[in-house]
Structure 1
Amino acid sequence: MAVGGTQPTLRKYLGALKDTTTVSLAKVNSDYKDLDIAIVKATNHVERPSKEKYIREIFLSISAARPRADVAYCIHALARRLSKTRNWAVALKTLIVIHRALREVDPTFREELINYGRSRSHMLNMAYFKDDSSAEAWDYSAWVRIYALYLEERLECFRVLKYDVETDPPRTRDLDTVALLDHLPPLQQLLFRLLACQPQGASSYNIIIQHALSMVALESVKIYTAISDGTINLVDKFFEMQRNDAIRALDIYKRATNQAERLSEFYEVCKTIHIGRGEKFLKIEQPPASFLQTMEEYVRDAPTMTKEKAVLAIEYKKEPEEEEKPASPPPAPEPEAEQEPEPEPEPVIEEPPAPEPDLLGLNEPSPAATAIEEQNALALAIVPIDDVPKAAPTFENGVTGWELALVTAPSSNETAVASSKKLVGC
């Protein structure tokens, strides 16, 4: 008994020592020491709900009037606190601060939180978190992981739908078929994460978990209202849908019916542990089973898009065929009465035209003109044949005579050298 009572006391002492050390370091090293101190005191190791004044100090630091740098630093400090702890109380209190900020603070905090998750790993991913210091802490750790999944799905739903189901008015009542088929699945996935937050074992009676569960139960009302309005709108359009859309709509309707049953059980559990006192939970009524059978029969006989496309293609091909019909052949000509052959005319022989008389005598040869033409022909030979210059003789290997003469001719330098030798010999 002494050992069992000493261990929780030692854990509380170590937790208080860690908190005191962190506060002392924040006072010395931090540029945002007031914010860091408020975060540490709002998420300390004490197994009781956080004090409201520290949470308000955090919300004041991330309000719309503060610079975006302060909001980003607050998110970074909460993420660091969440990633380093192995204590269920610290982790759960940090998640509660984030959840309340999403509900109560300006939307800029939500936008910065989404941007932080894009640039870094998801700060709400606590799939491997566990506190195995005791059996109760093990149950608490399981609920902390489920609660973190719900908050992460809440951000994802906002990112897809571009509006917050909790703070913005519902929009599923007036959407068309395509928008309904896109909006309802994320809402149903969010409700699925919410229903998983139903506490089990020791977590049902923990005061901090009950505080977080009360916020989750309140949000379930608006989430289910949005899904219910969208389902009614979808049913009104169901019997006019094509087969592919009707199949998707039928799956959404079946899932909505199943989730309605589970939500009724969730509300009963909340009432037994006194969650949501003074709040009116929804009274959920199930549709008749015959209506589901009617929807399934329509899906089997629903028109498909491919048949319509085939009909349109056939009609489109028929039009040019009608236009391109060949023209009917002209009627055959009636046979004409036979006529007697006419006699062929005799060929006419054409005589060549008689030459015209040369009255001026131009065609007669003249002896004087002939003599002049002969003299002009002799005058064209200007250069006699004997005076044509002879081509330079060529030798083997293509060497011409002038090139050989240039090589073999004695130069003036050689003559000067020879004469100088003679003088020396003398």
Structure 2
Amino acid sequence: MGRTTKLRDLIGAIKDKASLSKAALLSKPNTLSLHLSLLRATTHEPSIPPHDKHIAALLSFGHSSRATASAVIEALMDRLQNTHDASVAIKCLIAVHHIIRRGSFILQDQLSIYPSTGGRNYLKLSGFRDCSDPITWEVSSWVRWYSCYLEHLLSTSRVLGFFLCSSLSTVNKDEEVDQVSALTNQQLIREIASLVDIIEETYKAPDSLHVYGDRLLSEVMNLVGDDYLSAINEVSLRINEFGERLRVLSFGESVELMCALKRLENCKERSSMLPHRKKASMETFWGLVSEMKDRVGKEYKEDDRMVMTGRKDRACESARLGERVLKSSDSVRFGSGRLVSNRFAFPIPESVESR
């Protein structure tokens, strides 16, 4: 196995040098630097994550024109789709993750259109297999899971209206609470359900972190762990908001909320698998979920009793919204200010405290 690994490493190093030489010869002058930066950030070298300076160099192209940002995403997705090497694929996905977390607005915007505008889904790698040896075969399962996870992360970000765990924050804590309080019950339930999707997908990571050495896969789980804490924080905000609305939820909304809370509770036993979590804050969170589940259960039973006696007469909207005079324009999804006027993709939230 050791001799096979050394041979694979040697072949990978040769491929990297060949790729750099090919890029130097064939790339257009205006894109040469971009392709060299991408190749340096996504080498064939196994078990070692991309160096931060190479990721930073790749992200720096997002501070140029929209055309350049588009070229970055296109080149990155092409490399991801065309490689048959598990190490390269994981590093490409790590680069995508860093764009979500640290990329400029126009770089994030270009990423967000894959595949929301239709066409090919560049993160669909369900058929990825690297059959070079048993280790790369095992790491292929990480490629398949990680690409699916990032799909969920982008999907949830579209539902929320901002990139989860992005470092480009323009909204403070009080503004975020105000924005959440302005959402309708159905919007809140949809956002909680989408955040639970991310939390559930986190626990589907392959149980083989030990097989690859393994700084590369540890880096993946560190990034995913930060997302997890951000998702927990966002769910907490919305659960607290429902705590203010509980008496005015419709029967159907109570059922939907209860389903989301049960899905969350099912994740509790598996939460210990994640790195760099804060035990105290997690215990507080699970206590909040359990308390809200009990409260919704009581309201659910009360609703059922009131229906049976014919005395149910309750509103469906938040009590906070009851005194507002609603206009037809108020029903627009982003009428609450979750998108600012000079942005047409995702506004960026405040950095999560738990990070």
Instruction: Identify the TM-score tier after normalising by the shorter chain.
Output: 0.7 to 0.9
Distance 1:35 1:51 in 2: 16
Residue 153 of structure 1, CA deviation: 1.1
Residue identity (%): 20
**1:200 equivalent in structure 2:** 208
Distance 1:151 1:33 in 2: 28
Structure 1, unaligned runs of 5 or more: 310-426
**1:352 equivalent in structure 2:** none
Q: Is the 8 A contact 1:221 1:281 kept in 2?
A: no
Structure 2 length normalisation: TM-score?
A: 0.74
Residue 235 of structure 1, CA deviation: 4.0
Residue 103 of structure 1, CA deviation: 0.8
Distance 2:159 2:121 in 1: 17
1:23 pairs, out of 20, 24, 35, with 20
- Max radius of gyration: which structure? 1
Q: Given residue 190 of structure 1, which amino acid in structure 2 is its aligned partner?
A: I
Residue 91 of structure 1, CA deviation: 0.6
Change (3 A) 1:136 1:299: farther
Q: Secondary structure at the match of 1:239?
A: helix
Q: Is the 8 A contact 1:217 1:276 kept in 2?
A: yes
Residue 179 of structure 1, CA deviation: 2.5
Distance 1:291 1:116 in 2: 40
Change (3 A) 1:110 1:201: closer
Residue 52 of structure 1, CA deviation: 2.6
Residue 201 of structure 1, CA deviation: 5.4
Distance 1:41 1:279 in 2: 37
Q: Secondary structure at the match of 2:44?
A: coil
Q: What whole-Å deviation, never above 9, does each CA across 1:49-105 have from its counterpart, x for those lacking one?
A: 222322222111122xx1111111111111111111111111111111111121112
| Mapped pair 1:11 → 2:8 | yes
Residue 30 of structure 1, CA deviation: 0.7
Change (3 A) 1:280 1:59: farther
2:273 pairs, out of 246, 263, 269, with 269
Q: What whole-Å deviation, never above 9, does each CA across 1:240-281 have from its counterpart, x for those lacking one?
A: 22222222122122223323x14xx33x334xxxx4399986
Q: Is the 8 A contact 2:195 2:231 kept in 1?
A: yes
| Mapped pair 1:212 → 2:187 | no
Distance 2:261 2:92 in 1: 36
Residue 25 of structure 1, CA deviation: 1.3
Q: Secondary structure at the match of 1:62?
A: helix
2:107 pairs, out of 91, 106, 109, with 109
**2:82 equivalent in structure 1:** 84
Change (3 A) 1:19 1:234: same
Q: Is the 8 A contact 1:243 1:303 kept in 2?
A: no
| Mapped pair 1:34 → 2:33 | yes
Q: Is the 8 A contact 1:143 1:197 kept in 2?
A: yes
**2:332 equivalent in structure 1:** none
| Mapped pair 1:180 → 2:188 | yes
Q: Secondary structure at the match of 2:282?
A: coil
Q: Given residue 19 of structure 1, which amino acid in structure 2 is its aligned partner?
A: D
**1:334 equivalent in structure 2:** none
| Mapped pair 1:60 → 2:65 | no
Q: Given residue 51 of structure 2, which amino acid in structure 1 is its aligned partner?
A: K
**1:399 equivalent in structure 2:** none
**1:157 equivalent in structure 2:** 156
Residue 197 of structure 1, CA deviation: 3.0
Q: Is the 8 A contact 2:130 2:137 kept in 1?
A: yes
What does residue range 353-372 of structure 1 map to in structure 2 within 5 Å?
Answer: none
Q: Is the 8 A contact 2:303 2:312 kept in 1?
A: no
Distance 1:235 1:277 in 2: 25
What does residue range 390-401 of structure 1 map to in structure 2 within 5 Å?
Answer: none
Change (3 A) 1:53 1:222: closer
Q: Is the 8 A contact 1:43 1:50 kept in 2?
A: yes
Q: Given residue 105 of structure 1, which amino acid in structure 2 is its aligned partner?
A: G
| Mapped pair 1:43 → 2:42 | yes
Structure 2, unaligned runs of 5 or more: 314-355
Q: What number of residue pairs does the alignment pair up? A: 295
Q: What whole-Å deviation, never above 9, does each CA across 1:127-169 have from its counterpart, x for those lacking one?
A: 1112232332222221221111111111111222212232355
**2:141 equivalent in structure 1:** 142
Q: Is the 8 A contact 1:247 1:299 kept in 2?
A: no
Distance 1:241 1:67 in 2: 47
**1:248 equivalent in structure 2:** 256
Q: Is the 8 A contact 2:165 2:226 kept in 1?
A: no
Q: Is the 8 A contact 2:254 2:300 kept in 1?
A: no
Distance 1:301 1:205 in 2: 58
Distance 2:75 2:162 in 1: 26
Distance 2:59 2:279 in 1: 26
Q: What whole-Å deviation, never above 9, does each CA across 1:15-58 have from its counterpart, x for those lacking one?
A: 22221121111111112111111111211111112223222221
Once superposed, which parts of structure 1, at least 4 consecutive aligned residues long, lie more than 6 Å away? 277-280, 306-309
Q: What whole-Å deviation, never above 9, does each CA across 1:180-226 have from its counterpart, x for those lacking one?
A: 12321111112222232364353585210101211111221121121
Distance 1:281 1:35 in 2: 41
Distance 1:13 1:36 in 2: 22
Distance 1:73 1:276 in 2: 35
Q: Is the 8 A contact 1:158 1:164 kept in 2?
A: yes
